[in-house]
Amino acid sequence: MAPSITYITSSELLARKTSPKIAIIDVRDYERSQDGHIAGSLHFASGTFLEKFPSLVEATKDKDTIVFHCALSQVRGPRCARKLAEHLANAEGVGVKNVMVLERGFNGWTASGKPICRCTDVPCKGESITSPGESPQTLFQLSLIPKFAHIHRLSAANLTCGETEMVCLACLLPLFLVPIVNLLPLLFDFVMAKVYRLFGWEYQKPERAPPACPIKPSASKTGTNSSVTGKDNLAAPDPTRKSVGADDNKQD
C-alpha cells in the first residue's frame, strides 16, 4: 500500500530537519542556484527526475520521512511525491513511511524568515547558511563601506527594523532636492550680478512669477469677465425697447 501524501509546514520542518531519518528533496530546476536552498536538502530537478529516480531511491533508502518541495509546492513537488509514493506501493523492504510536501514550497520557507543555504556543494553540507534576502551581492556592497566593513552577516529584517545605523542616501535625496531647486534662481542672480559688475554694467533681476498653488485653483478670468459684462448689461438700457404709448415719435 502506497503511503499517503501529507503536507508539512515550514516551522515543523525546521524543527525536524536535523533528524537523520528525514530527507528533503528539492525538485526545482534553475531556481536552486539562483535563490538558494534549504540546508541539507538533496537536489533532483523535475526536468530530469525520472532519469535520476533510481538515484533518489538509493539516497533515501535509510530514511523514514521524505519531504518534497518546489517553488510553491503546487505542481512539481506534489507530482514527484506521487511518483515516489507509487514506487513505494510496489516496493518491499523499504523503510520510508511518510511522504510529505512542504506547504507553500521554498517561497513560503523564505517568506517566513527561515534560513537558507547558498553553497554549491553536492550534496549540500549546510556551510553557507544566510538569512532570506541576504545575497552575496548585498554583503559585497556593504563590505565596500568602511563603516560596515566588519559586518559579515546582515539580514533583511535588520535593515527594515532599524537595528543598524545604515542610512539610505537615496531616501534622503528628496529632502535636499527642494531647497536646492529654490536656491538655483538666487544663485543664478548672484553669478550674473558678478559678471555684469566686471564689465561695469548694472544687472537687474528679472521678475519671476511665484509658482501656482497646486491645491487652490486660480480664479477664472473668463467667468469674471462674463459676470462683469452681465452686470453692465443690467445697468445699460436696451436700445431696441420702446416706451409704452410711443410709436415712431407719435403721441396720442
Convert the pLDDT of each residue in 3-14 to its tens digit. Answer: 789 999 999 999
Give pLDDT, residue 164: 41
Number of domain units in the chain: 3
Q: What's the whole-model pTM score?
A: 0.53
Give pLDDT, residue 226: 46
Give pLDDT, residue 188: 86
* Catalytic machinery residues: 70
Over residues 67-94, the mean pLDDT reads 89
Same domain, 161 and 181: no
User: Is 228 inside any structural domain?
Assistant: no
User: Is 20 inside any structural domain?
Assistant: yes
Q: How far is Cα 43 from Cα 94, in angstroms, rounded to an integer? A: 21
Percent helix, strand and coil across the chain, each to the nearest 5: 40, 10, 45
Same domain, 14 and 115: yes
